[in-house]
Amino acid sequence: MAIKKWSLACLNSETVDNLVRKFAFPRPIAMYLAARRIAEKDVDIFLNSRLSALSDPYRFPGMEAAVKCLWDAIFEQSPILIHGDYDTDGITATALLADVLRQNGGEVHTFIPHRFDDGYGFTPASLHKAVESINKSCKLLITVDCGITSCDAVREANQMGITTVVTDHHDPGPELPDALALINPKIHDELADLQILAGAGVAFKLAHAFIKYGREHQLGGFSTKLSEVLDFVALGTIADIVPLLGENRIMVKSGMKILRKQLRPGIRALIEAAKLKAELTPSDITFKLAPRVNAVGRMYNADIALQLLECDNIVEAYRFSAELEKYNNIRQNKEQEIYLEAKRQIQEKFNPERNYCILAAGQNWHQGVIGIVASRLARDYNRPAIVLTIQDGKAYGSGRSVGSLNLVKTLARSSGFLERFGGHPMAVGIALDSGNIEGFYASLEADIKTEIAAADLTEHVSYDGEIELEELSGEFFDYLKRLSPFGHSNPKPVFRFNDLELVKSYPVGESHTRGILCNRKHTQIDFIAFNFPPDKLNAALLDVLATPQMNTYGNTDKPQLHIVALQAVY
């Protein structure tokens, strides 16, 4: 196991002291808030996350025009076509908006592009395919989780007499589409606080404005409970790995409560297939639910995932869920095969002192899983990773970044080698001629070296502060519950505990350890250490980095440390 550098996140002790004095927090809770730069004015909303704190959806320029045309279509009994995307965020955004519109009398049709037949995003080809799929004239099309760079498709729609409303959260290109409304926080500087929204979050903003407009103008929306579609927002937001801060945090916190109720047959079937407990966590979505929803789009047709989320009886739900399970198993096998092959390529030529990014390419690697492989390689090597599949002289690939490196901006400097690229700062898609792979890689290496230093590539584990076991009081654990949901940009708290003695330990499985630790004041606490076999804890004294947690066994709750790193004192 590689040794990681320990870095203290909370460097301002004065901020910690101020939080303790003003709010009477336990000191570890104040450290946690200070480490995440939560300002004093934002502490209340961070801890309580009330839905009433969500901002007015009419802050979006063009929002009123967008929702007016939706209500007009409903009263004219004109079809509304929603064009989504094939990942979890795009599928949940589609299901959310369709649900709200149908509740209010909308004739709603949905279209999810096929990853391989249609490619990514809203295109002229996908426009025509979507319109043909409903087998009737269409005058209104709404995009979700796509469309902000789809100038050609919107022009085509305009020529066909179709009004387009774009809802998206991706970065815009140099030209904006000529749509009726562009609902995307990233094209408005005054919406900086909302630029972390996922596609499902932006779709919720449109749904919120739609209901608000309907009620204000006595058109409808009176029986719609928007809180009940926040399960879709939680799924999409967590799956898309956007920061769980601000309004994302508020919506996800409420959405997790709805998810745990399993009100939708599809959600219930999905949770059962993943063998999850009722007390669902964001990490369950990240590692269990989202991969299943994504898998069917990666390997076959994402429509099945949408049908699962939208179905209204449990028999159908189990059938769709079984399909997702089948394709998830296929995905796992194919992913592992490509991962091992890519790893062999990299190990042959990787030099940690010279290489600031890594690239692997293979003939006819399955395009649906190369993004996951890129994510695994980026974690393995702590380097930006590009994985390409070569097909008929063309290379198509996915990239994943690390740290604070904005891979989209970095790729722009190497764009002369690319036919197209786009995505998020941390996740991108690219296409290029296979003959340009070596030149592209050399250019990317040089560009990344101007953006980050060698020290940035040193693996580290961050902790919130040094505390004593005695500070893990009942009050601390009460506050700990209010710090969730944990996820991107709001990780679980990690504290440093110094000079701990191993009282007892025993192996769990082949490489894990449970036991009891004791400090110099003879205070004891249970611990669990995953991927640390007992022989790694055999020093006389240990310093550990650990997340405090309540271990529930039967009807008993008992504090324990989840150890994430350790080092021998002597």
**Tens digits of per-residue pLDDT, 433-454?**
999 999 999 999 999 999 988 8
* Banded pLDDT at 489 (limits 50, 70, 90): confident
Considering the chain, what percentage of its residues have pLDDT values greater than 90?
84
pLDDT at 295 over 50: yes
Give the per-residue pLDDT at 67. Answer: 98
Give the per-residue pLDDT at 145. Answer: 96
Taking residues 362-374, report their average pLDDT. 94
Return the percent helix, strand and coil in the chain, to nearest 5: 50, 20, 30
Distance CA 97, CA 148 (A): 18
Taking residues 471-493, report their average pLDDT. 94
Q: Do 79 and 107 meet the contact criterion of CB atoms below 8 Å apart?
A: yes
Domains of the chain: 5-44+461-568 (2.40.50.460), 57-226 (3.90.1640.30), 350-457 (3.10.310.30)
pLDDT digits (tens, 9 = 90+) for 236-283: 999 998 999 999 999 999 999 999 999 999 999 999 999 998 789 999
* Banded pLDDT at 3 (limits 50, 70, 90): low
Among all chains, which residue has been given the structure tokens 């934002």?
Answer: 42
Distance CA 293, CA 306 (A): 9
DSSP H helix total and E strand total for the chain: 19, 18
Average pLDDT, the chain: 94
pLDDT at 334 over 60: yes
Give the per-residue pLDDT at 189. Answer: 96
Distance CA 342, CA 325 (A): 25
Query: By mean pLDDT, which of 144-148, 484-488, 512-516 is the weakest?
Result: 484-488
Distance CA 519, CA 512 (A): 22
Give the per-residue pLDDT at 1. Answer: 43
pLDDT digits (tens, 9 = 90+) for 32-41: 999 999 999 9
pTM greater than 0.85 (yes/no): yes
pLDDT digits (tens, 9 = 90+) for 400-424: 999 888 998 899 898 899 998 887 7
Distance CA 443, CA 414 (A): 6
Distance CA 564, CA 141 (A): 48
pLDDT at 123 over 60: yes
> Dihedral of CA 538/463/493/34: which sign?
positive
pLDDT at 375 over 80: yes
Taking residues 228-235, report their average pLDDT. 98
Neighbours of 259 (CB within 10 A): 25
pLDDT digits (tens, 9 = 90+) for 43-100: 999 999 899 999 999 999 999 999 999 999 999 999 999 999 999 999 999 999 999 9
Give the per-residue pLDDT at 117. Answer: 84
Beta bridge partners of residue 561, listed in sequence order: 527, 548
Give the per-residue pLDDT at 353. Answer: 86
Phi, psi (deg, nearest 5) at residue 100:
-65, -40
Which tokens belong to 196? 């972390």
More confident residue, 404 or 529: 529
